[in-house]
C-alpha cells in the first residue's frame, strides 16, 4: 500500500546521527479511519521530506473560558501525524490553553469551562479516562522539569502503573533506552542512567522530558514552547528531533518564535484574542497570508 512506497526520510541532521527512527508504529487500531484520513499532503517547506499524514485529533468549535474570560473561541482544526503543527500568536491569545485542552490538562484549572468537541482517533476525549488520554497525548513543558530521580527512573516513571516501583529496572531497560534513543539522548547518558536527572544540562533535561513523553508511546506529542529556556545549540538539536518525530507521532508545538515555526512546522495556526485567525501550510502562512492580522503578526508589526 501507499505507505510502504514512500521514500525514506532524507533530512540531514547536522548535529550527528544519534537519532534513530522507529519504523511506523501501530496505526492498526485506526484502520477503519485510514481511507478517510490518509492523505499525502503537499509539503510547505522545500527541505521537508514528504511524509504521509494521518489525522489523529480533531478540534471542532472549541470554546474555553476561565470565569468571565473567554480564552479560546470557536476554534476548529485537525492534528495530523506526519506533520508538525505550530500554534503561534501573541501572549494571551489562547494558544497554550488550546494545547492544554488536547490532553485535558485545562481541567486542572478549576474555573476552566470547555465546550465543543475534541476527538482522538475519532473518539470524543471526554469519554476517555484522563489518565489514559494523557498517556496517548503527552506533553512537554516550557521549563525543563525532570523529576527528582535518576535519568532511568524519569523515563520509567510513565511505564510503571501509577505510584508503583515495579516493574523493576531490568524488564524496563529496553523500553527506557528506546525512548532515550528516540529523543536523541541515549549516547550522552547511557553510562550514567542512575545519575540524578537534575544534574543534566538544560538542553539534555528537555530532551529527557521528551524521552519521558515518548516512553508512553503516545499518538500525539504536545510541546509548549519547549525551546524558550534553552540556548541556540540545544534548540537546534530539539528542532531536528521534532522534525524527525513527526513521522511517528502527531506533533503540536506552541511557539513564540516565528522563525522556529517556519523552520519546523508543516502547518501553522495563528491565533489572536482566542480566535483562530488563520490555519495554513507554513509557506502560505509566512509567504502569502490571507488575513491582514496574520500579515501584520508574521511581519512583526505586533506581538
Q: Judged by CB under 8 A, which stretch of 17-25, 144-152, 269-277, 280-288 contacts other proteins?
A: 144-152
- Residue 254 is a binding residue for other proteins (CB under 8 A): no
- Among 17, 68, 131, 259, indicate the residue that binds other proteins (CB under 8 A): 131
- Residue 244 is a binding residue for other proteins (CB under 8 A): no
Phi, psi of 294 (to 5 degrees): -65, -45
Tracing cell 531497560 back to the chain, one arrives at 173
- Among 26, 162, 170, 259, indicate the residue that binds other proteins (CB under 8 A): 162
- Among 36, 123, 132, 301, indicate the residue that binds other proteins (CB under 8 A): 132
- Residue 66 is a binding residue for other proteins (CB under 8 A): no
How many residues bind other proteins (CB under 8 A)? The answer is 33
Cα-based angle 88, 89, 93 (whole degrees, multiple of 5): 125
| β partners of residue 65 | 70, 113
- Among 116, 122, 196, 303, indicate the residue that binds other proteins (CB under 8 A): 196
- Residue 138 is a binding residue for other proteins (CB under 8 A): yes
- Among 105, 125, 243, 276, indicate the residue that binds other proteins (CB under 8 A): 105
- Among 108, 115, 191, 300, indicate the residue that binds other proteins (CB under 8 A): 108
What is the closest distance, in whole angstroms, from the C-beta atom of residue 224 to other proteins in the complex?
9
Q: Smaller CB distance to other proteins: residue 48 or 56? A: 56
Q: Which of residues 197-236 bind other proteins (CB under 8 A)?
A: 198-199, 202, 209, 212-213, 216, 222, 229
- Among 78, 89, 94, 144, indicate the residue that binds other proteins (CB under 8 A): 144
Within 10 angstroms of residue 11's Cβ, the number of other Cβ atoms is 11
What is the closest distance, in whole angstroms, from the C-beta atom of residue 153 to other proteins in the complex?
9
What is the closest distance, in whole angstroms, from the C-beta atom of residue 109 to other proteins in the complex?
10
Binding site for other proteins (CB under 8 A): 103, 105, 108, 130-135, 138-139, 141-145, 147-149, 157-158, 162-163, 196, 198-199, 202, 209, 212-213, 216, 222, 229
Amino acid at each position: 500500500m501507499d505507505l510502504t512506497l514512500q521514500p525514506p526520510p532524507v533530512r540531514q541532521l547536522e548535529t550527528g546521527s544519534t537519532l534513530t527512527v522507529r519504523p511506523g508504529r501501530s496505526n492498526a487500531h485506526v484502520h477503519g479511519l485510514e481511507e478517510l484520513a490518509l492523505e499525502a499532503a503537499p509539503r510547505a517547506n522545500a527541505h521537508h521530506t514528504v511524509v504521509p499524514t494521518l489525522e489523529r485529533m480533531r478540534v471542532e468549535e472549541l470554546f474555553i473560558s476561565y470565569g468571565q474570560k473567554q480564552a479560546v473561541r470557536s476554534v476548529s482544526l485537525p492534528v495530523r501525524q506526519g506533520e508538525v503543527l505550530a500554534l503561534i500568536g501573541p501572549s494571551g491569545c489562547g494558544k497554550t490553553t488550546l494545547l492544554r485542552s488536547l490532553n485535558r490538562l485545562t481541567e486542572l484549572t478549576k474555573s476552566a469551562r470547555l465546550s465543543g468537541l475534541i476527538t482522538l482517533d475519532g473518539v470524543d476525549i471526554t469519554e476517555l479516562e484522563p489518565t489514559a488520554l494523557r498517556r496517548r497525548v503527552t506533553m512537554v513543558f516550557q521549563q525543563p522539569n525532570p523529576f527528582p530521580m535518576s535519568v532511568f527512573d524519569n523515563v520509567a516513571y510513565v511505564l510503571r502503573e501509577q505510584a508503583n516501583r515495579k516493574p523493576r529496572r531490568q524488564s524496563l531497560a529496553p523500553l527506557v533506552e528506546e525512548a532515550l534513543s528516540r529523543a536523541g539522548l541515549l549516547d550522552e547518558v547511557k553510562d550514567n542512567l542512575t545519575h540524578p536527572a537534575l544534574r543534566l544540562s538544560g538542553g539534555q533535561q528537555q530532551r529527557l522530558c521528551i524521552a519521558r513523553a515518548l516512553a508512553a508511546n503516545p499518538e500525539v506529542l504536545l510541546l509548549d514552547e519547549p525551546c524558550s529556556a534553552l540556548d541556540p545549540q540545544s534548540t537546534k538539536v530539539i528542532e531536528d528531533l521534532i522534525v524527525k518525530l513527526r513521522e511517528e507521532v502527531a506533533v503540536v508545538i506552541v511557539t513564540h518564535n516565528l522563525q522556529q515555526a517556519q523552520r519546523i512546522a508543516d502547518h501553522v495556526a495563528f491565533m489572536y484574542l482566542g480566535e483562530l485567525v488563520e490555519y495554513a501550510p507554513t509557506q502560505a502562512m509566512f509567504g502569502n497570508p490571507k488575513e491582514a492580522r496574520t500579515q501584520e503578526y508574521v511581519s512583526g508589526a505586533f506581538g
